[in-house]
Amino acid sequence: MLTLYDAPRCPYCARARIALAEKGLEYEVIEIDLSDRPRWIYEKNPTGRVPVIEEDAWLLPESSVILEYLEERYPEPALLPPDPADRALARVWIFRHDDFTKPYYALRREEEGAAEKFDEQLAKLEDALSRQAWLTGAEYGLADIAYVPWVLRARDMLGVSLDGFPAVRDWLARLEERPAVAREVETVAAL
Ligand SMILES: N[C@@H](CCC(=O)N[C@@H](CS)C(=O)NCC(=O)O)C(=O)O
């Protein structure tokens, strides 16, 4: 049985929740209060962070590694393209994800100039999504899952307008049609 150590407000956990739902996996949720973390969470992950998944007493932290693990362990439905070159390009998006989240968190802290820097990152997504349907490539997959929790939170919690980024707006609308992502929209609305 899979267990997810989870926090609803955590976008890294959202990655794991979406991938688990897309794979149709049943799992137990243990919710961690991020403002008052139990001491035992350090036994699950020495950094004390979530998400962590546990499977038969085996523990795995780090959302991007969790995504890769779920893809390898539960290959159906596939969330990476079949061609190694296409898979590599999807992974580049995930690898460079910090470039996207740095200005997101700066915006959350209301730092000066953060809105412009976050728009620059949205422009990069816009450019990619004007040329291909999904960040993962021709089909939806892990790169999309890796970014959507922050784009959703930017729109719904930070009031970021996607009007200047029509390809990103359409991508998000297509994502929201997926039950796994629609559930996250509800989670964000309830925060
Ligand atoms: N690199 C980690 C980051 C996870 C992370 O930062 N989680 C946050 C919640 S969104 C957390 O547990 N924060 C507690 C802390 O930093 O002490 C991942 O990708 O899983």
- Which tokens go with 33? 């209060």
pLDDT band at residue 185, thresholds of 50, 70 and 90?
Answer: very high
pLDDT at 62: 98
Q: Is 23 in the pocket of ligand 1 (CB under 6 A)?
A: no
In the chain, the amino acid numbered 138 is A
pLDDT at 140: 98
12-31: per-residue pLDDT in tens? 999 999 999 999 999 999 99
Q: Which residue has the tokens 């001491």?
A: 39
The protein residue with its alpha carbon nearest to ligand 1, atom 12, reads: 49
pLDDT at 181: 98
CA of 82 to the centre of ligand 1 (A): 30
Q: Is 149 in the pocket of ligand 1 (CB under 6 A)?
A: no
Q: Is 139 in the pocket of ligand 1 (CB under 6 A)?
A: no
Q: State the Cα–Cα distance between residues 34 and 57, nearest whole angstrom.
A: 23
pLDDT at 80: 98
Global confidence as pTM: 0.97
Taking residues 129-151, report their average pLDDT. 98
pLDDT at 106: 97
Does residue 8 have a cis peptide bond before it, meaning omega lies within 30 degrees of 0? no
65-108: per-residue pLDDT in tens? 999 999 999 999 999 999 999 999 999 999 999 999 999 999 99
Q: State the Cα–Cα distance between residues 123 and 162, nearest whole angstrom.
A: 10
Assigned fold of 2-73: Glutaredoxin (3.40.30)
CA of 12 to the centre of ligand 1 (A): 7
The residues spanned by each domain of the chain are 2-73, 84-189
Q: Is 49 in the pocket of ligand 1 (CB under 6 A)?
A: yes
Q: State the Cα–Cα distance between residues 60 and 57, nearest whole angstrom.
A: 10
pLDDT band at residue 182, thresholds of 50, 70 and 90?
Answer: very high
The class that CATH gives domain 84-189 is: mainly alpha
Q: Is 94 in the pocket of ligand 1 (CB under 6 A)?
A: no
Q: 185 — phi, psi (to 5°)?
A: -60, -40
Taking residues 129-135, report their average pLDDT. 98
CA of 164 to the centre of ligand 1 (A): 30
Quickly count: other Cβ atoms within 10 Å of residue 173's Cβ.
Answer: 10
Mean of pLDDT over the chain = 97
Q: State the Cα–Cα distance between residues 152 and 1, nearest whole angstrom.
A: 30
The pick from 6, 12, 36 for probing ligand 1's pocket by mutation, whose C-beta has the most ligand atoms within 8 angstroms, reads 12
Q: State the Cα–Cα distance between residues 144 and 132, nearest whole angstrom.
A: 12
Helix H or strand E segment including 29: strand 27-31
CA of 61 to the centre of ligand 1 (A): 9
pLDDT at 84: 98
